Amino acid sequence: MFERKMKNMADANKLLLTSGLITYTWGNISEIDRLTGYITIKPSGIQYNRMAWDDFVVVDLDGNVIDGNYRPSVDIDAHIEIYKAFEHVGGIVHTHSPWATAWAQAGRPIPCYGTTQADCFFGEIPITREMNPDELGADYERNIGRIIVETFRDRDPMAMPSVLFRGHGTFSWGITAMDAAHNAVVLETAAALAVRTEMINDAAKPLYPEMQEKCYFRKHRKHAVQEQVMSE
């Protein structure tokens, strides 16, 4: 089982690398086996372009190493919090991809200006609140996950499979690690298009809600979406 999971992770890792979302060791990727609760995650401190499939680490939902020769990513606790809260999530990707991270640093959600974004994300891509000083201590990484979960209190995480962490970077998720990687690539594309849209027209308005809904639901007909705030 571990070997198969690690090879799946290697394929998703390659997509992140070839799509230009990764610089050096910045970011991480994981996948959970819901039957065992075991999480396969990128090891800490190893560059993506030097990583082999058997370098990945397997941990349980308490962060204990089950298999692997390296320490798990420093963000493992954030991943664990997301997996515990979002029961349908099977894979998570964290990146500092340039365009999306620029929005995170600017403290702005990404408006849904067009159908490219609406096809994959139901509404504007949200941004978390700032961390407060008390959240920067020993539980820093765990608090990142908790704040992401808090941000989705009134949102369906499967209809909005990405979030901007204010001042930090991005998190995306999906049914599998490859699905999460795909969503991370789409997030970066949407972020770049939104910047260019505002450069061309700084008074641009988001796509009207009916068009957003049409685009999303024609691709996700069977997906029930909980109540959430759409872009005005």
Task: Tell me the pLDDT of the chain (232 aa) as tens digits.
Answer: 566 666 777 788 888 888 888 888 788 899 999 999 999 998 887 777 777 777 889 999 999 999 888 889 999 999 999 999 999 999 999 999 999 999 999 999 999 999 999 998 999 999 999 999 999 988 999 999 999 999 999 999 999 999 999 999 999 999 999 999 999 999 999 999 999 999 999 999 999 988 888 888 887 765 444 333 333 3
Q: pTM for the whole thing? A: 0.89
The answer to whether 172 and 132 have CB atoms below 8 angstroms apart is no
User: Parallel, antiparallel, or unpaired: how do β-strands 162-165 and 28-33 relate?
Assistant: unpaired
What pLDDT is stored for residue 211 in this prediction?
86
Amino acid at 175: I
What pLDDT is stored for residue 231 in this prediction?
34
What pLDDT is stored for residue 6 in this prediction?
67
- So where are the chain's domains? 2-219
Burial class (CB in 10 A: 0-12, 13-18, 19+), 133: exposed
CATH number of 2-219: 3.40.225.10
What pLDDT is stored for residue 230 in this prediction?
36
* Residue 168, number of CB atoms within 10 A of its CB: 15
Alpha carbon separation from 174 to 12, 50, 125, 182 (Å, rounded): 12, 25, 15, 8
